[in-house]
Amino acid sequence: MTGDLDPLIFDLVEWIAREPRSYADVIDAWRTSCPRLTVWEDAVDRGFVIREGAGAGTRVLVTPAGQAFLASRAASWRAVSARAASGATQANSGN
């Protein structure tokens, strides 16, 4: 199941990488009670994100491993998206 969550983990790590996020904001946006949807937990367990600080000032940061995950996945997922968009365009044009 973990591989199935990679697109969601990518979204989480990418969202955190865009700007500093407080721990409270990250947990509010990404924590779930579903035991099969462990996006936050998997990102932490894989070392893609870390918590820094304590209390209300705790921030979540992307680690070098998280940056490498983003870089390795971004190119392949962009290629898949481009192929899917191309297929949709061809289907809509009647080809």
We report the CATH number of the domain holding residue 73 as 1.10.10.10
DSSP 10: H
Q: Which residue do the tokens 């579903």 mark?
A: 34
Residues 16-29: pLDDT tens digits?
A: 999 989 999 998 88
Q: Total domain count for the chain?
A: 1
Q: How far apart are CA 95 and CA 90, in angstroms?
A: 5
Contact by Cβ (8 Å): 77, 7: yes
In a domain, 42, yes or no: yes
The residue segments making up the domain with residue 72 are: 3-87
In a domain, 94, yes or no: no
> Over 90: is that where the pLDDT of 62 sits?
yes
In a domain, 93, yes or no: no
Q: What is the mean pLDDT of residues 51-74?
A: 92
3-state helix, strand, coil in the chain (%, to 5): 65, 10, 25
What is residue 46's three-state secondary structure?
Answer: coil
In a domain, 95, yes or no: no
pTM tops 0.85, yes or no: no
In a domain, 92, yes or no: no
